[in-house]
Amino acid sequence: MSPSEDPVHPSAIGENTQVNTESNDQSPSASTPDDTSYPPQLHAGAVGYGPNYRQGPTFTDKVTGVKEEIKGKVTRHPDLVQQGHDRRTGELKRRERDEDDGVDPFATPGEDEKKDKEQAATV
């Protein structure tokens, strides 16, 4: 093939290379419809990342809980000792999460009262 017949500029090809001008009618995916290069997906996305990824206490929560427990024991405040224990074990975080789950953020302030009145009127 002569340089005048090449549709590509010589600097784009490089040195000591051959240009493949044959057209490939078959794409690789069309020739192998059952491509087995990937393993089957068995987890269906449940790999641990999600809105509840960190359910237990973090290292910071554990250290803060120990500090609160010690401070409560030194100052003789049993409530602070209990709060520190709950924070260290993750119980405080679980209670806060349960409270947040119980509240409907999309409800209007008077919506609950309207539902109660409607139910009372139908009974």
DSSP code, position 114: H
CA distances from 85 to 49, 96, 99 (A): 27, 15, 19
* pLDDT (0 to 100) of residue 21: 64
- From first to last of its 123 residues, the chain has per-residue pLDDT tens of 555 565 777 677 666 666 666 665 555 555 555 666 777 766 656 566 666 677 889 999 999 999 999 999 999 999 999 999 999 999 999 998 888 888 877 877 777 677 777 777 776
Report the predicted TM-score, pTM, of the whole model to 2 decimal places: 0.47
* pLDDT (0 to 100) of residue 6: 57
* pLDDT (0 to 100) of residue 60: 95
Structure tokens at 86: 């709950």
* pLDDT (0 to 100) of residue 46: 59
Place of tokens 């100052």: 75
